[in-house]
Amino acid sequence: MARVLIIGGGIVGLSSAYYLHKAGHQVTVIDKGDMTDNCSHGNAGMIVPSHFIPLATPGMVSQGIRWMFSSKSPFYVKPSLNPELISWGLKFLKKANAAHVEKSAIPLTELSLLSKKLYQELSKEPDFEFDLVEKGILMFYKTEKAGEEEAHMAEKGRQLGLDMKVLSPADCMKLQPKLNLDVLGAVHYACDAHLSPNKLMTALLKYLRAVGVNLVTNKEVTKIETSNGKVSRVWSSWEEFTADEYVVAGGSWSPSIGKLLGLKILLMPGKGYSFNVQDNAEIMQIPALLAEARVAITPMNGGLRYGGTMELDRINNRVNMNRVKGIVESVPKYFPGLKPVVPQQKDIWFGFRPSSADGLPYIGRSNKYSNLTIATGHGMMGLSLGAATGLLVTEVISGKPTSININEFAPDR
């Protein structure tokens, strides 16, 4: 049994704590907040084996440049001389090629399917009710170009063993007869699922407290000591924490934690927005993705959660209302019967997705420190991949063979 200190109390940190405790380790989780409002709470709650294409793709470069000239676009990179952004951008450009996309598909699919299986198992545990629904997700499109791209993606998905079907508008209406459509078609990602992230995080926190995992809140890590190729202690202001094994699972704050260790964890925070509308849950039973608009809509807690955008910038507390308006205005173009209004700023949630330059998460041992494991960089799929990452972290620390091959996720790649 090892004493393990996890830095970060999001879905990856708490999932790691869950599986580490199950494996018999003594676990402490430390977080700079109270673990109730991080990026794991406000997302769309989608479990997405369908998302086997990393962010770094050839088409994303030209599309991203076009989007940068619209304040309502789904993707935005704030021009800056920030050296982290420059390093990130150069690696993104290097990896945005067909060979990288092809190479990434299998490991991403294996990671996603493992996570889905673990969520299925977790949902059967007592006190873990988080509304797991396995009806898939519908990716709607309005243009021939998007339809061709989605059909190609569906074919690739089927080659990977995923259940993905191209549907006509009439097929879509059979699945959701109350939903008024103005689309050319959709792809049904029947392999996908969704859940309530708020309920999942609440259940994890309650369970971990009950079994004696030490949850240390509102303590920001300010110093990390190392010696002889190992992490020796962690400081939060004047408080000291020691362990046998250490895990960096700090989400978008992981690079600043890495700096305390002399490590460069290359990722950028991608700000996303979401808001809830307590209406229309009976109209939409299956979550929707809007292909051209890059908007997600999920039935959740008796209403609908709308989410979208990816702003790459430094961590900040600004709410860009134009981005939120872009989400709102896109919805009736696909679903004329759904007309959400722009919410008040106080009702808009935002969080920072830790986005690696090549679109793959970092999971595994650090080459520099023998007792340090890194688990971050999941981008928009943190919740989807959280359970699998937690299990893999546990297997690494326990010295067991990992459930899947994690070489492509090596932190020092």
For residues 349-374, give the mean pLDDT.
Answer: 96
pLDDT for position 56: 62
Of 213, 201, 198, 207, which is closest to residue 127 (Cα–Cα)? 207
Q: What pLDDT sits at residue 62?
A: 59
Provide DSSP, 166-188: EE-HHHHHHH-TT-----SEEEE
- Closest listed residue to residue 105, CA positions, set 70, 155, 63: 155
Say how far apart CA 319 and CA 306 lie, in whole Å: 16
Radius of gyration of the chain (CA): 21
292: how many CB neighbours lie within 10 A of its CB? Answer: 15
SS3 334: helix
From 43-57, 164-178, 316-330, 361-375, the region with the lowest mean pLDDT: 43-57
Give the Å distances, CA to CA, from 100 to 95, 263, 380, 412: 6, 24, 19, 17
CA distance 411 to 413: 6
* 64 has pLDDT over 60: no
Length of the chain: 413
State the pLDDT confidence band at 68, using cuts at 50, 70 and 90. Answer: low
Question: How open is the CA angle 333-338-342, to the nearest 5 degrees?
Answer: 90
Distances (CA, A) of 143 to 121, 122, 293, 373: 39, 39, 11, 44
Distant-in-sequence, close-in-space partners of 121: CB < 8 Å, separation ≥ 6:
none
Tell whether the model's pLDDT for residue 399 goes beyond 70: yes
Contacts of residue 81, Cβ cutoff 8 Å, sequence gap at least 6: none
Question: Binning pLDDT at 50, 70 and 90, where does residue 169 land?
Answer: very high
- Classify residue 86 by burial, with Cβ atoms within 10 Å: 0-12, 13-18, 19+: exposed
In the chain, the percentage of residues whose pLDDT exceeds 70 is 96
Which residues partner with 375 through β-bridges? Answer: 363
Higher-confidence residue of 391 and 68: namely: 391
- Whether the predicted pLDDT of 337 surpasses 80: yes
pTM for this predicted structure: 0.94
How does DSSP assign 191-216, residue by residue? T-EE--HHHHHHHHHHHHHHTT-EEE
210: Cβ contacts below 8 Å, ≥ 6 apart: none
Report residue 314's pLDDT band, with 50, 70 and 90 as the boundaries. Answer: confident
Mean pLDDT to the nearest integer, 269-273: 93
Interhelix angle for 98-123 vs 382-398, to 10°?
80
For residues 248-256, average pLDDT: 97
Q: Which CATH class is domain 3-409?
A: alpha beta
For 73, 180, 265, 392, the CA distances from 294, given in Å and listed in that order, are: 9, 19, 27, 30
Among 12-16, 148-152, 206-210, 276-280, the least confident range: 276-280
Q: Amino acid identity, residue 330? A: S
**Residue-wise pLDDT tens digits, 276-306:** 998 877 889 999 999 999 999 999 989 999 9
Place of tokens 């699972």: 249
Give the confidence band of 55 by pLDDT, cuts at 50, 70, 90.
confident
* For residue 60, pLDDT beyond 70: no
- Under a CB-based contact definition with an 8 Å cutoff, are residues 307 and 50 in contact? no
CA distance 77 to 314: 10
**What percent of the chain shows pLDDT beyond 90?**
80
Q: Check pLDDT > 70 for residue 52.
A: yes
* Res. 313 pLDDT band, cuts 50 70 90: confident
Q: Looking at 219-302, which runs of residues are DSSP E strands?
A: 223-227, 230-236, 239-241, 245-248, 267-277, 288-290, 295-300
185-203 pLDDT, tens per residue? 999 999 999 999 999 999 9
Residue 32 gets which letter from DSSP? S
* 303 vs 125: CA distance, rounded Å: 25
Comparing 92-101, 201-210, 214-223, 403-412, the range with the smallest average pLDDT is: 92-101
Q: What is the mean pLDDT of residues 148-170?
A: 96
64-68, 286-290, 319-323: least confidently modelled range: 64-68
The domain segmentation of the chain, as residue ranges, is 3-409
Token pair 């479990």: residue: 47
Please report the sign of the dihedral spanned by the C-alpha atoms of residue 318, residue 89, residue 262, residue 394: positive
pLDDT at 273: 95
Contacts of 136 (CB under 8 A, 6+ apart): 163, 188, 189, 190, 191, 192, 193, 286
